Amino acid sequence: MSERVVIIGSGPAGWAAAIYAARANLKPLVIEGAITEANRIQGTLPLGQLALTSEVENYPGFPTGDLAAYVKTGVSPERYLPEHTGHGITGPELLELMRQQATNFGTRIITHDVVDVDFSKHPFKMKTDDGADGGQEIEALAVIIATGARANYLGLPSEDRFKNNGVSACAVCDGALPRFRNKPLVVVGGGDSAMEEATYLTHFASQVYLVHRRDSFRASKIMSDRVLANPKITVKWNSVVEEVLGDDNPRVGVTGVRIKSLKDNQVEEVPAAGYFAAIGHTPNTDFLKGQLKLTDKKYIVWTTPQRTYTSIDGVFASGDVADDYYRQAITAAGTGCMAALDAERWLAAKNFH
Ligand code: NAP
């Protein structure tokens, strides 16, 4: 029997879609992704990118600090609920709460990757990876794609060579590893991610070199200012990373980074125990194998303004997989809600029950 709604992906967009679809009694099935080493290295584990961050400061309703104290002082006494506990929210906590909220309303979850889809016929078909309990063929009347995006690397062979051995695209996941403690580290990029990674790494590193190809940051002013004021961060302006240097021995790994100045072509080797790429993202759309219309950067195209419709009737997209502009947890959750409402109305209009 066909599922009514299948949601592929398990970041804020996926869970918001699941919460809304479940409350509309559509009994959604979420395919949350597989827990594999390949997904870990690629940054595509279940719960998505937000689960790779520490404190989330900009998701409405979750101010940084002691949440209980905030609620007590921030809400008028007659409306205060004394049972609040805890602190500000972290990315993994926020995602676990969303996942729990979705399951509380009857969402079912399978922990697999979707490896193939057939959207050419209705009901739509999806195939999952084999995994420990075997692959599954799943049919659905409506599909919501919420597979997000993953971090980019420069594409240097030496990045691949030292991945997991000093090369990373996630400071929050890997920054606290003993290999990085009290050692110089290199971050490449000039956006908010690079600012966040560089600042975070100063908690562990002796020194952070931030390599950026231009003479000004793309990042927001507040995050740039934080970096520029941090005595542990040295910015290498107008510079590119030519090579990550190191030794294949896992006890050694990365030992430095070769940087070239674009101003005078001077090359220098900066000693470093780690190299962190923070240069933007690629949407997770490979599994669609060209069945939906994509942008030139491979993001899913929303075909109707203000709607989550895609080029295939009955397939909806939400979150970063269709958004290379806002890319925030709150906007992902917002479009996840929209996709569930669009799917619900589409199913009703087609008389699918
Ligand atoms: P981004 O804003 O696209 O910035 C990517 C950076 O990497 C740019 O500075 C870019 O340089 C550089 N870059 C790209 N390709 C490169 C290459 N091949 N070689 C060298 N440098 C390269 O990406 P992001 O920093 O990941 O941020 C994505 C979105 O998430 C943004 O909207 C951001 O505001 C948001 N975000 C927010 C927070 C927060 O508020 N806490 C944290 C992280 C991210 P150019 O500047 O020269 O193009």
pLDDT band at 78 (very low <50, low <70, confident <90, very high): confident
Residues 6+ apart with CB under 8 A from 265: none
Q: Which of 317, 264, 266 is nearest to 288 (CA)?
A: 317
* Nearest Cα residue to atom 11 of ligand 1: 190
- Report which protein residue has its CA nearest ligand 1's atom 38: 192
Give me the active site residues, please: 170, 173-174
For the entire predicted model, the pTM comes to: 0.79
- Cβ contact 180:205 at 8 Å: yes
* pLDDT at residue number 104: 95
> Cα of 143 to ligand 1 centre, how many Å?
30
Q: Ligand 1: which of 50, 218, 276 to mutate, judged by most atoms within 8 Å of the beta carbon?
A: 218
pLDDT in tens, 239-286: 999 999 999 998 899 999 999 999 999 999 999 999 999 998 899 999
Q: Which of 49, 59, 192, 240, when mutated, tests ligand 1's pocket best, judged by the most ligand atoms within 8 Å of its CB?
A: 192
35-68 residues labelled b (16+ CB within 10 A) or e (exposed):
eeeeeeebbbbbbbbbbbbbbbeebeebeeeebe
- Determine the average pLDDT of the residues in 89-100: 89
Among residues 16, 39, 5, 15, which one has the least CA distance to residue 115?
A: 39
Mean pLDDT, rounded, for 201-217:
98
**C-alpha span between 285 and 148 (Å, rounded):** 8
For ligand 1, atom 3: residue with the closest CA: 280
* E strand map for 214-266: 233-236, 239-247, 253-261
How close is the Cα of 154 to the center of ligand 1, in Å? Answer: 13
**CA 71: distance to chain centroid?**
29
The lowest-confidence range among 53-67, 81-95, 207-221, 249-263 is 81-95
Q: What are phi and psi of 160, to 5 degrees?
A: -60, -45
Give the per-residue pLDDT at 84: 59
User: What would the mean pLDDT of 341-350 be, rounded to a whole number?
Assistant: 98
DSSP classification of residue 1? -
**Taking 70 as the threshold, does the pLDDT of residue 183 lie above it?**
yes
In 3D space, the residue among 275, 26, 308, 303 whose CA is nearest the CA of residue 153 turns out to be: 275
Q: Which of 52-56, 207-211, 327-331, 334-338 bottoms out in mean pLDDT, i.e. has the lowest?
A: 52-56
Helices (H), the chain: 12-23, 37-42, 67-74, 91-104, 157-161, 171-174, 192-201, 221-228, 329-349
- Residues in contact with ligand 1 by the CB-under-6-Å rule are 58, 154, 188-194, 196, 213-214, 218, 278-281, 327
Q: CA 50 to CA 316: how far, in whole Å? A: 21
CA of 215 to the centre of ligand 1 (A): 14
Nearest CA, atom 4, ligand 1: 191
Atom 26 of ligand 1 has which residue's CA nearest to it?
Answer: 280
- Say how far apart CA 115 and CA 338 lie, in whole Å: 25
pLDDT of residue 74: 74
The DSSP element (H or E) to which 276 belongs, if any, is strand 274-277
Average pLDDT over residues 314-337: 95
Residue pair 10/94 in contact (Cβ under 8 Å)? The answer is: no
Res 86: pLDDT: 62
Residue 66: per-residue pLDDT: 78
How would you class 132 by CB atoms within 10 Å of its CB: exposed for 0-12, middle for 13-18, buried for 19 or more?
A: exposed
pLDDT digits 0-9 by tens, 38-64: 898 788 999 998 887 767 778 998 887
